[in-house]
């Protein structure tokens, strides 16, 4: 990706964070928060940030259509064609439940996707000021410095398993399979934080059940370009537009192979 376009996306993220997102953090009224679905919130910051990000991205690359999380909430048919053509994917505030509760982590994510394959991705933590980005075939970076994924080095892989979209029976079966084999840690409820944890040596594994494109396109590319692996239960790679549930992410291909039989059974 040309430096000018990357620089423009970075500047856009920082500006919208400073002008829209951070001023709302811990300053939301009850009327500023709505429940889209059970345990799925949206705030005025999500909506205002998406509008500004969409406008800015359209100016950066007018040939790519823009698809945002809140636009899809209003018109779910936008998801029908998300796996074709060139588009910008926006998650204006990832980890909205955390944000609405006045706690971190939360982040902002953008991905440039071509025919279902992420080409570039950005994950921004506006509180810490950390910017992760990746370019297909060009590597992964944290605040501009190249980075390679590293495992925790623990005797048992450290795993953050998101199970809240599983049935009770499936959760119980998973718990039985991994008992004594994986060290379980709390999930951050924020993909924009979970993917960096896999690259930066904090976690070895992460399991996601729901794999909506704005939650994962940027993070998958970041992890894979850093040397990690992301795949479905059958080993198939992640693609934008694939509506299947269940995806295991690992800091290395070896960790993925070790954990997949335990996680997927």
| CATH code (residue 216) | 3.40.190.80
Task: Label each residue of 57-89 as H, E or C.
Answer: HHHHCCCCEEEEHHHHHHCHHHHHHCCCCEEEE
Query: For position 67, what pLDDT does the model report?
Result: 97
Question: Within this chain, do residues 219 and 126 fall inside the same structural domain, yes or no?
Answer: no
In angstroms, the Cα distances linking 212 to 61, 180, 248, 250 are: 23, 31, 14, 18
Tell whether 92 and 167 lie within a shared domain. no
Q: Compute mean pLDDT per 10 residues along the chain, 265 residues long, and list them.
A: 82 98 97 88 97 97 94 93 97 98 98 97 98 97 97 97 92 96 97 98 97 97 98 97 95 98 95
Give the span between the Cα atoms of 87 and 144, in whole angstroms. Answer: 24
Q: Show the tokens assigned to 252.
A: 């290395």
Separation of alpha carbons 48 and 112, rounded Å: 21
If you write DSSP's letter for every residue of 168-183 in order, what string do you get?
A: HHHHHHHHHHHTTTSE
Specify if 152 maps to a domain: no
pLDDT reported for residue 2: 52
CATH code of residue 57: 3.30.540.10
Do both 130 and 180 map to the same domain?
Answer: no
Contact present, 161 and 184 (Cβ < 8 Å)? yes
Residues 71 and 131 in one domain: yes
List all residues 6 or more positions away from 125 whose beta carbon is below 8 Å from its beta carbon. Answer: 105, 107, 131, 192, 193, 196
Residues 117 and 62 in one domain: yes
In this prediction, residue 39 carries a pLDDT of: 77
Overall domain count for the chain: 2
pLDDT of 1 reads 54
Q: How far is CA 84 from the centre of its chain?
A: 20
The answer to whether position 151 is within a domain reads no
Helices (H), 94-226: 96-100, 168-178, 191-199, 213-225
Final residue in a domain of this structure, among 95, 114, 146? 146
Q: Which of 113, 146, 179 is the last residue of a domain?
A: 146
Indicate whether 138 and 167 sit together in one domain: no
pLDDT at position 40 is 86
Residue 242 placed within a domain: yes
What is the reported pTM? 0.96
* Same-domain status, 233 and 121: no
Residue 195: which of 185, 205, 183, 210 has the closest Cα? 205
The answer to whether residue 209 is domain-embedded is: yes
State which residues form the domain around 74.
3-146
174 and 140 share one domain? no
Co-location of 138 and 166 in the same domain: no
In whole angstroms, give the CA distance from residue 70 to residue 134.
24
In a domain, residue 153? The reply is no
189 and 214 inside one domain: yes
């Amino acid at each position: 990706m040309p430096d000018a376009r990357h620089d423009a996306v970075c500047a856009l993220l920082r500006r919208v964070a400073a002008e829209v997102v951070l001023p709302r953090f811990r300053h939301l009224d009850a009327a500023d928060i709505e429940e889209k679905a059970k345990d799925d919130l949206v705030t005025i910051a999500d909506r205002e940030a998406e509008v500004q990000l969409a406008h800015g991205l359209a100016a950066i690359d007018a040939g790519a259509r823009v698809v945002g999380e809140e636009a899809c909430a209003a018109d779910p048919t936008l998801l029908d064609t998300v796996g074709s053509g060139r588009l910008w994917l926006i998650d204006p505030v990832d980890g909205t439940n955390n944000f609405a509760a006045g706690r971190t982590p939360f982040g902002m994510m953008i991905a440039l996707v071509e025919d279902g394959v992420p080409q570039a991705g950005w994950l921004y933590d506006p509180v810490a000021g950390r910017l992760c980005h990746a370019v297909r075939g060009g590597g992964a970076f944290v605040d501009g410095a190249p980075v390679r994924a590293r495992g925790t080095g623990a005797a048992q892989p450290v795993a953050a398993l998101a199970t809240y979209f599983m049935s009770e029976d499936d959760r119980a079966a998973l718990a039985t399979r991994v008992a004594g084999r994986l060290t379980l840690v709390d999930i951050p409820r924020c993909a924009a934080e979970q993917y960096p944890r896999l690259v930066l040596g904090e976690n070895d594994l992460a399991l996601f059940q729901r794999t909506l494109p704005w939650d994962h396109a940027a993070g998958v590319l970041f992890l894979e370009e850093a040397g990690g692996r992301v795949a479905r239960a059958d080993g198939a790679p992640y693609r934008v537009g694939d509506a299947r549930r269940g995806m295991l992410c690992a800091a290395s291909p070896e960790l993925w192979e070790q954990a997949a039989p335990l996680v997927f059974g």
